[in-house]
Chains A and B, each alone.
Chain A
Amino acid sequence: MPSNKVQSIKEELKEKIMQSEDAVFKELHTKEKYIEALYIKTISDETVIQDYVVKPFFEIATAETFLAYLQSHPKVKPFESEEQTLEELIRGVAVLFYQDFIFIFDSKVDRNNSVLDTTVETTIQGPQSGLSESLPTNLGLIRHRYPETTLNVESTTIGEISKTKVMILHDEKLVDQDVLRRVKEFLDEVDIQMFQTGEQLLDLIKKSNRALFPVMLVTERPDRVAVNLAAGKVVLLVSGSSFAVILPTVMKDFMASMEDIYQTYWVSIFLQVLRYVGFVTSLILPGLYVAVTSYNPELFRFQLALSIAGSRSAVPYPSFVEVVIMLFMMELLTEASIRLPKAIGPTATTVGGLILGQAATEAGLVSNIMIIIVSAVAISNFVVPINAFSFSVRIVKYIILALATCFGLVGVVLGFFMFLAYMVKLDSFGQPFLTLVQTKSTKE
């Protein structure tokens, strides 16, 4: 008979867990031996229990051999403490009570372990698969791409309720110890109830919870993770999220697409320049339009100035109203096309973009040139490869627009430089945000 201690632990565990419907307490008997198993069937894999516990139980005759089998099985851990067992139990393990022993049998079901295709950061060439939603699979994917013995994996939990498992990966040989210390400090300080995905950290990094720019990169590509590990960065994998978080991240990383590595040298340089030009365009173009039409039409050569003024001749209000209306429409269109089902998406953009734009011009509500500018802004905004960053840029252009409305050309130029100064002020775990040349280059 089991001793009293084991009996009391069993009773206590049962009492804490049995009120839910999916908890299972099973007893198995043969002539010589009997075993009890406690698990939650919705998060445990019953076939695993069947294969590794139930079948051997009936196949192995003597009690001692079965005990030896259990003790030597790789999926079986000995009992440590009651709290820890309970913790594991609600994560899907089975607790086995056999004779005087308590075993923890790893029967966690790994449901979302299929590798997903990249949908956010797509490239033309290079690997097309992203991370999965399962932590062990993700770790496996990364280890596969980064076969180094120095790859160090630690884990911690975040979230009062969700108790989400987070893995901290870094290359012991390459990582900046100061950065690693800062990252760990930051993770210890995170105070949140439900932690679902790495993106949530973007806001938590600022004490005030109001960050304008992301200072960590959230990616779905295992190749990007591997490249960044090789650059000495720290990577966080969050259980249940198909996105990894890369720290520290500076602007250069936000402007880099994985494709840069997969293209030839001059092509990737060209693409980089293109992105920066697009970035600046989407920032200052609306502001510049207001400044040029309302404050300094003499800036441009007079043919151009005349054609701008001519196209605006039917518009009954000042240029900034025109810009605000059109930008607002464009933002609505962008927002809507994210929400819409895939089948209706193209219709909405056609209706919104083409027909509305055309009609608005013909009705004399906005000028032709305004339509061109708004589309240029919208397109160039999405040239920025990392979404979180391009969303921030979307906001900044309104600030510059407001300054341009008040101060004209001076507002545009100074607004741009104030924005630069703000970025100079930012840092990501001790790395200045605008660092261009990192000591350890991302490109190998």
Chain B
Amino acid sequence: MNRYFLYLVFLNMLINVIIFVPKILIEHRYNGSVMGVLIAIPIGIGMNYLYSHSLNKFPGQGLPEILADSKHRWLVNLHLGSIQILWFSAGLITLLGFIDILSRFVNPEMPKLFLITIYLAAIFLIIQLPTKRVMYFLEIVLFLNTPLIGFIIYKTLTSEFLSWDSILEVGTHLFEKPSLKAMAAATYTFSGFTNLIIFNRVIKEKLKIWNFIIILFLGVFNLFTTFFIPIGFHGSDGAQEYLYPWISTSDSLRLVYSPIERVLYIFLMFYMSISLMSISIHWHVAFELLKGTFKEKENNKKNWMIMAAFMCCAIAGVLFLNTVLLNKITAYWMILLLGVEVMTVSIFFIWARRRTA
């Protein structure tokens, strides 16, 4: 199904608000963000195209199945292992970030450790589903939430408090030397395609070119909103004062006639499900890869052990990481992710060409 690919990429575009992308971009707005974003767009689209193109040669198969008969077992394990650690940490950062947001904006009196339990319960319920069902669920969640996203974006763009001058002012810093951090953060927007490692199982036919065209437009629009709308609301200098620029932006909006007056709550309720889905997708990939790494037969005990390990990491993360530290780590993690992505995509592209040639 062609649209499934689009969902995966689109989900990553939505979630970048939680995973500090706007914060990183705004931090470097005077020194290289704009150029970084502009460079990130072709890189992101290119990687999307190359990777899905080469995976498309193995319709209906995930990476573990494709590599199952490889002779270099340790190489395969290293490959799968590095991706799964990276993808697990992607979910983890989203989770920690969102728990932090929840405890700041929704439940300030509740201990984070308590708050994370319900998230973990929901996530573990979802990641154990078969891949196809996870995809169905993603479709349902996006179907329920897309109208809300559209509405909020419409509200921000038509708001009288959006200062286009500030946006233009930041736009004049176009020709700065691009900053690596900002570029890596911006490519994260496009990196939903890596989920295909597992989710290629549900994509049986060839991906059509319109997918990439839609991704290009969505990506450009998404980067624009992520980066510029907070600047438009808080001013080019004021925007950096906030830990979560987008959440504060949504709090500056007001629905005059709605029973829920503050957009913040609509926004957060919508992100509760989106982040749940994003974490679950990432962890489902990690979970399935981990199951694929060990060749033994599947059993329940092992699945529970993997989930216990996930849980321990999440709890340790909640206990030891604070927002600022998480933010700093994420910035470097993004660079690492970009590097690994470029490597994975190019290695796999070459390998797949040789394999099928």
Chain A residue numbers with a CB within 8 Å of B273 are 413-414, 417
With contacts A299-B260, A410-B118, A410-B272 taken as known, whether A434 is within 8 angstroms of B107 at the C-beta atoms is no
- Interface secondary structure of B, over-half rule: helix
> Once bound together, how far apart are the Cα atoms of A409 and B266, in whole Å?
11
With contacts A295-B107, A421-B137 taken as known, whether A410 is within 8 angstroms of B260 at the C-beta atoms is no
Chain A residue numbers with a CB within 8 Å of B125 are 418, 421-422, 425
Any A CB within 8 A of the CB of B357? no
What's the minimum C-beta distance from A291 to chain B, rounded to whole angstroms? 10
Chain B residue numbers with a CB within 8 Å of A403 are 118
Inter-subunit contact B115/A424 (CB<8 Å): no
> Once bound together, how far apart are the Cα atoms of A301 and B255, in whole Å?
9
What's the minimum C-beta distance from A306 to chain B, rounded to whole angstroms? 13
> Once bound together, how far apart are the Cα atoms of A403 and B133, in whole Å?
24
Any B CB within 8 A of the CB of A408? yes
Inter-subunit contact B272/A414 (CB<8 Å): yes
Any B CB within 8 A of the CB of A407? yes
Any B CB within 8 A of the CB of A274? no
Inter-subunit contact A407/B118 (CB<8 Å): yes
Chain A residue numbers with a CB within 8 Å of B122 are 414, 417-418, 421
User: By CB atoms of chain B within 10 A, which of A295, A302, A425 has the most?
Assistant: A425
Inter-subunit contact A410/B276 (CB<8 Å): no
Any B CB within 8 A of the CB of A411? yes
- Interface secondary structure of A, over-half rule: helix
Inter-subunit contact B133/A409 (CB<8 Å): no
> Once bound together, how far apart are the Cα atoms of A407 and B119, in whole Å?
10
Inter-subunit contact B121/A407 (CB<8 Å): no
**Range of interface residues on chain B?**
20 to 34
CB 8 Å contact bits of A301-314 with B (1 = contact, 0 = none): 11010000000000
**Which residues in chain B, 106-140, are within 8 Å of chain A measured between CB atoms?**
106-107, 110, 114-115, 118-119, 121-122, 125-126, 129, 133, 136-137, 140
**Which residues in chain B, 263-283, are within 8 Å of chain A measured between CB atoms?**
265, 269, 272-273, 276
Inter-subunit contact A432/B136 (CB<8 Å): yes
Q: Which of B115, B141, B258, B265 contacts A417 (CB 8 A)?
A: B141
> Once bound together, how far apart are the Cα atoms of A410 and B115, in whole Å?
8
Chain A residue numbers with a CB within 8 Å of B259 are 300-301, 304
With contacts A304-B259, A420-B140, A421-B125 taken as known, whether A411 is within 8 angstroms of B269 at the C-beta atoms is no
Chain A residue numbers with a CB within 8 Å of B114 are 407
> Once bound together, how far apart are the Cα atoms of A12 and B298, in whole Å?
58
Inter-subunit contact B106/A424 (CB<8 Å): no
Q: Which of B119, B133, B265 contacts A414 (CB 8 A)?
A: B119
Q: Which of B106, B129, B262 contacts A410 (CB 8 A)?
A: B106
**Which residues in chain A, 380-428, are within 8 Å of chain B measured between CB atoms?**
403, 406-411, 413-414, 417-418, 420-422, 424-425
Residue of A nearest to B103 (CB): A410
What's the minimum C-beta distance from A273 to chain B, rounded to whole angstroms? 14
With contacts A413-B272, A414-B118, A417-B273 taken as known, whether A300 is within 8 angstroms of B261 at the C-beta atoms is yes
Inter-subunit contact B260/A425 (CB<8 Å): no
> Once bound together, how far apart are the Cα atoms of A252 and B261, in whole Å?
34
Any A CB within 8 A of the CB of B102? yes
Inter-subunit contact B107/A407 (CB<8 Å): yes
6 pairs of A and B residues whose beta carbons are closest in the complex: A301-B261, A413-B272, A424-B137, A418-B122, A414-B122, A299-B265
Query: What are 17 A-B pairs at a CB distance below 8 A?
Result: A299-B262, A300-B259, A300-B261, A304-B259, A408-B106, A410-B118, A414-B118, A414-B119, A414-B122, A414-B276, A417-B122, A418-B125, A421-B137, A422-B125, A424-B129, A424-B137, A434-B140
Beyond contacts A299-B262, A408-B107, A425-B133: 4 other A-B pairs, Cβ-Cβ < 8 A, are: A410-B107, A418-B122, A424-B129, A424-B133
